[in-house]
Amino acid sequence: MNAFDANQRKKLIQQLVESQYDLIIIGGGITGAGIALDAASRGIKTALVEKNDFASGTSSKSTKLIHGGLRYLKQFEIALVREVGQERAVVHHLAPHLVKSEKMLLPLIKDGTYGKILTSVGLMVYDVLAGVEKVDQRKMLTLDETLEQEPLLDPDKLEGGGIYAEYRTDDARLTLEIMKTATRMGADIINYAEATDFIYDDQNKVRGITWRDNLTGKEYSLKSTYTISAAGPWVDEIREKNRSLYGKKLHPTKGVHIVVPHEKFPVKQSVYFDVPDGRMVFAIPRDRVTYIGTTDTDYHGDINDVRTEKVDVEYLINGVKHIFPEIQLSMDDVESSWAGLRPLIEEEGKSASQLSRKDEIFESESGLLSIAGGKLTGYRKMAERIIDLLGKRMKEDNGKKIPDCKTDKIMLAGSGFKDGQDVTNYESYIRGRVTEMGLDPYYAEYLVGNYGKQVEEIFQIYKSRKEPDPEIRLALSELEFTVQEEAVHSIMDFFERRTGRLYFNINTIPKLIEPIFDYLSKNFGWSDDRRRHEQAWLEKSLKVASQFV
């Protein structure tokens, strides 16, 4: 059984209900995915439940960088910088099509966040801590060199600059490929399955969960010896269900990104720049757009409905104007946006931007383990830490010893590339093929960046379809693949988290709505009510992404 074939859901549910697991993971973001892969690869019988779609929370709302956190040097979080810096190279190796090297320009502004000496020393330390290869190590630039690198910068505010290495990714796709790899290691993983309560033994120890299938409303139970909550912003809600919400709690902060056409903000490369309040913001070119972010503000609203507000958009636009005087962006230029929550750990007296990005594990008396905090980049080490801790418990409880972590050597689904150059060569090959199909050459980087070598499976489906419009034909080929291989159950699973169209190519969606609806409706036998629900969901998602309150 292919556990990620949406048409196999009934069989998967039966398997979940009838099995006894060593470990249940609550939460299908990057942290839960990493834990599932680590656990399954060490021989732990693992199940994972996610109440919505995979990566539908924080793990599709990041800056989409596997980065080392240069600014954490200023907060003297040396160990964090070292760990996540070194992890960048590991994750790049595991999926070079998804985690791509990206040169970052750091302009040095008069009276800005980073001075010349601090930047030169800081970037050198950063290279050492992160183990950056010589070819990617920092290079300091004069004023003229910086303007040559990025002519849009304000020469009156500029003193020079620095170039250093980061890695760009698609957070939702990365989460998904980790999940798929975990299923191939034996994990049973299901989306739209909401943990509703815990099952306890007569010693008041957690021995499973009850859960609701959010696609049918049916209730089930799931049996396990151990349970880990990796629910991101919902970790405290889960702890409250477990009656273990004491001590440290979460302090959610909101991060917003906006997307504009690249022609409106034609940066030549990624830039990490000062904004008036002393924070730093990224501007990152991606295909036909440039995206800008992020904000960092305390959040006290509904964690299930996080929105981009006008004040967030104005903050980012004003930040651009501050250092790029020729760029006159307005609210009307913003095609799309996303807003997400960072599940940071509360620290008394610290503002949103001062809170540590370190992860933390909470242990309850009933045996529930919870993990929160951390960064996208550090997902693998977070998983290693909590599974090492679980391994100690397993040894104490039944003498079972689990092997050491080996996820640094497990290539992710869709990979099979030697390095970044191999990816570039493959993109050139695919560019020729999409051009023959009558598609824009842009689709080569899009397809390889999303699916890696799995593009060949999509092309096989494409050959069998007959739609005259190549864009519609390709989208339906992607949809068929993602239904069969990536547990797509709704239209927004496809438009937002499988393809990124909602954020990076929103203008293509209107043309695809009807054929995508027709395919899903026929494939799943949707009722009229379900179709209306999906239509309303799509309309709301488009509105949330492109209209601001």
CB under 8 Å to 460, separation ≥6 — which residues?
none
pTM greater than the 0.85 cutoff: yes
> Is the separation of the CB atoms in 227 and 390 below 8 Å?
no
Give the C-alpha distances (Å, rounded to integers) separating 274 from 73, 103, 112. 16, 17, 7
Q: In this structure, are strands 250-261 and 336-345 parallel, antiparallel, or unpaired? A: antiparallel
Domains of the chain in sequence order: 6-58+172-248+358-409 (3.50.50.60), 101-168+251-354 (3.30.9.10), 420-546 (1.10.8.870)
> What per-residue confidence (pLDDT) applies to 350?
66
Give the C-alpha distances (Å, rounded to integers) separating 269 from 155, 205, 286, 297. 18, 53, 9, 27
Say which DSSP state 361 is in: E
Give the C-alpha distances (Å, rounded to integers) separating 377 from 68, 169, 383, 384, 401. 7, 10, 12, 13, 28
Cα–Cα dist 475/478, whole Å = 5
Cα–Cα dist 521/491, whole Å = 10
Dihedral-angle region of residue 470 (phi above 0 means left; psi in -120 to 50 means alpha; beta otherwise): alpha
Structure tokens at 322: 């501050």
Q: What is the dihedral of CA 369, 375, 380, 383, to 10 degrees?
A: 0
Count of CB atoms within 10 A of residue 170's CB? Answer: 24
> Is the separation of the CB atoms in 500 and 338 below 8 Å?
no
> What per-residue confidence (pLDDT) applies to 348?
67
Q: What sections of 346-419 are H helices per DSSP?
A: 379-398
CB under 8 Å to 28, separation ≥6 — which residues?
48, 49, 50, 52, 53, 54, 55, 56, 175, 179, 189, 191
Q: What sections of 102-234 are H helices per DSSP?
A: 116-130, 143-149, 171-184
Residue 308, amino acid: T
What distance, in Å, lies between the first and last C-alpha atoms of the chain?
Answer: 45
> Is the separation of the CB atoms in 46 and 183 below 8 Å?
no
Which residues does residue 371 pair with via DSSP β-bridges, in sequence order? Answer: 361
> What per-residue confidence (pLDDT) applies to 353?
64
**Residue in 371, 373, 403 with CA at minimum distance from that of residue 386:** 371
Q: In this structure, are strands 369-373 and 297-298 parallel, antiparallel, or unpaired? A: unpaired
**Residue/partner pairs of 526-534 with CB below 8 Å, 24 or more apart:** 534/490, 534/491
Say which DSSP state 132 is in: -
Q: pLDDT tens track of the chain, all 549 residues?
A: 677 888 999 999 999 999 999 999 999 999 999 999 999 999 999 999 999 999 999 999 999 998 766 666 666 566 777 777 788 889 999 999 999 988 899 999 887 776 777 777 777 877 776 676 777 778 899 999 999 999 999 999 999 999 988 889 999 999 999 999 999 999 999 999 999 999 999 999 999 999 999 999 999 999 999 999 999 999 999 999 999 998 889 999 999 999 999 999 999 999 999 999 888 899 999 989 999 999 999 999 999 999 999 999 999 999 999 999 999 999 999 999 999 999 988 876 666 665 666 789 999 999 999 999 888 888 999 999 999 999 999 999 999 899 999 999 999 999 989 999 999 999 999 999 999 999 999 999 999 999 999 999 999 999 999 999 999 999 999 999 999 999 999 999 999 999 999 999 999 999 999 999 999 999 999 999 999 999 999 999 999 999 887
Structure tokens at 170: 């698609």
**Residue in 31, 27, 24, 25 with CA at minimum distance from that of residue 357:** 31
Residue whose token pair is 């006008």 = 310
Structure tokens at 186: 């034996």
